[in-house]
Amino acid sequence: MKPPFSSLLIANRGEIAVRIARACRELGIRSVAVFSQADVGALHAQVADEAIEIGPAEASRSYLSIERILDTAKQSRAQALHPGYGFLAENADFAEAVSAAGIVWVGPPPAAMRAMGDKAKARALMKKAGVQVIPGYQGKDDAAFLKKAAAEIGFPILVKAAAGGGGVGQRVVGKASELTETVDAARREAENAFGDKRLILEKYLSEARHVEFQVLGDQHGKLLHLFERECSLQRRRQKIVEESPSPLLDVKLRTEMGAAALAAAGEVGYTNAGTVEFLVEPKTRNFYFLEMNTRLQVEHPVTELVCGLDIVQWQLRIAAGEKLPFAQKELEQHGHAIECRIYAEDAAAGFLPQAGRVHKMLLPAGAEIRVDSGVSDGTEVGVHYDPLLAKVIVHGADRPAALKRMKEALSETAFLGLTTNIEFLQDLLAHARVQDGRMDTHFVESEFANWSPKGDLPSEVLLAAALIELQGENGQEETSPETDPYSPWGRRDSFRIGGSG
């Protein structure tokens, strides 16, 4: 089969850049990686066929620099460009600049990105499409209007930034007396992160489940969904465990939500890969549109494992003009998949990101275990970017089998030299409510607020650590935090992956 493109530039870093490079290799496409001065020798630069330095460690002068990335794409004679997730992935101006330069943009149309990127506009569009939205308010957002709207909605409410995502600019207001102070804080946060201080209000759903649908559309009018992912296990409104199928959905609800996801995507003329996110009230079975991520999702591997499709490869094929060869009725979910995000963070200290050197990686292996990672032995995890180390994904015949396999996989995973969230994830998945599939988006903060590690390590981890100490290896020196507003280190209460959720 002829490759969709001769060459492709990957405008990203870390595990997603590695993932895209490998998809390119399987399709016979020459991959070009970009790297900052902080990422010299990084795994994503080694895996690609070619790697080009694009600037200093600061993301604003490298991975977020449209000019530098476009210059590099032209220099490398890349035929197409994949933005990954985070950084510039949902920047419509960047997408237009890529196309204007004669380079194929691997993603949705800029108009769709703009429509769904503005939460206020997206709510209005969803109402037009007949997709139910969370009761709320979008419109003139000065103090008087917000106060009146909040009273009509009823407390508690959620104050949200109209632009951006990843939980940034979101605050819960429990009573009217807290509104003014909370609005001011959310507005400052939104303006600092996104350059847009507009806010919207939504009814705060205290026991909701977070369920999203993967969609895929070609340039010939075919739009499909690849079923759902349950993403309710979150810390600080950021997902840490995802699974498919959702233990909440039955056939009827899955069908209704799938239809709503297609209606939402169809309203903006969506093509390529995207995700429509919903909040579901378990008791009433009512579901509401939350937002649409107009890019590849971090958690896409769980969908790949249950559907048997390579979403990244289909992104490339769709961008090249290929038609989707299957119909919705031909798609099925097979078995159960779970993904855990492994971060360099201290879960006992409010999930603070950690820096240091990966002295030694211990990774699980098996027929139904997959690890997507952007680090290797010796990698320095610094303060400039999100501290995602790897994603461990497992597949089983059913949910109990997948949970058992994940337990075993996490017990075989370690990143020596760094504090990670592995033990926290083990305890989280072992909780009776998680085992029974009865979690919600506030489960972590309600059940694990006072969590602390036991401190027990497997014997092989202790042995490896002892060998490292004998070899006299040293960790990373202290460095100054990144000042870019998109950096996870600039806002330690809710860091994001390259500027997105």
3-state secondary structure 53-94: EEECCCHHHCCCCHHHHHHHHHHCCCCEEECCCCCCCCCHHH
Q: What is the mean pLDDT of residues 50-64?
A: 97
CATH architecture of 206-333: 2-Layer Sandwich (3.30)
- Domain boundaries along the sequence of the chain: 7-106, 135-203, 206-333, 335-447+458-501
Fill in the DSSP letter of residue 60: G
pLDDT digits (tens, 9 = 90+) for 269-318: 999 999 999 999 999 999 999 999 999 999 999 999 999 999 999 999 99
Same fold, 206-333 and 335-447+458-501: yes
Assigned CATH class of 335-447+458-501: alpha beta
Q: What is the mean pLDDT of residues 39-49?
A: 97
Using a pLDDT cut of 90, give the percent of the chain over it: 82
Q: Look at residue 298 in the predicted model and tell me its pLDDT.
A: 97
Q: What is the pTM of this model?
A: 0.89
Fill in the DSSP letter of residue 499: T
CATH architecture of 135-203: 2-Layer Sandwich (3.30)
Q: Select 7-106's CATH number: 3.50.50.60, 3.40.50.1370, 3.90.1150.10, 3.40.50.20.
A: 3.40.50.20
Helix (H) or strand (E) holding 211: strand 209-217
Q: Look at residue 439 in the predicted model and tell me its pLDDT.
A: 96
Where do runs of H (alpha helix) occur along 324-435? 399-411, 422-430, 432-435
Q: Look at residue 486 in the predicted model and tell me its pLDDT.
A: 40
Q: How many CB atoms lie within 10 A of CB 298?
A: 24
Q: How far, in Å, CA of 342 to CA of 323, rounded?
A: 35
